[in-house]
Structure 1
């Protein structure tokens, strides 16, 4: 499971955008977004760099 810290998320639309961005590169991945902490956990995707890039391309900042 990948765990990422993501900045710039504030609403349900953000959750959907991040989830769709991850699932575009890894269909079937389970994405859990915690808006309060900015934590995104992805189960079913092994390439952290690709997931980070997809989230960045969706307009969010991945820290760490």
Structure 2
């Protein structure tokens, strides 16, 4: 069981830039990966500010 509180391995790297909201700007900020015996996990860090009334439906790597 995981207790509630600060995670020592978690680093806050993103913030909301309110001036970019609705701009349609999408940026790749970084990525992390883990390769296990039978599994490869990829985590993408990005900043996404979709245009008004639009959404991001898919991200291709």
For normalisation by structure 2, the TM-score amounts to 0.29
> Going by fraction, where is strand more abundant, 1 or 2?
2
> Going by fraction, where is helix more abundant, 1 or 2?
1
Greater C-alpha Rg: 2
More contact order relative to length (CA 8 Å, sep ≥ 6) = 1
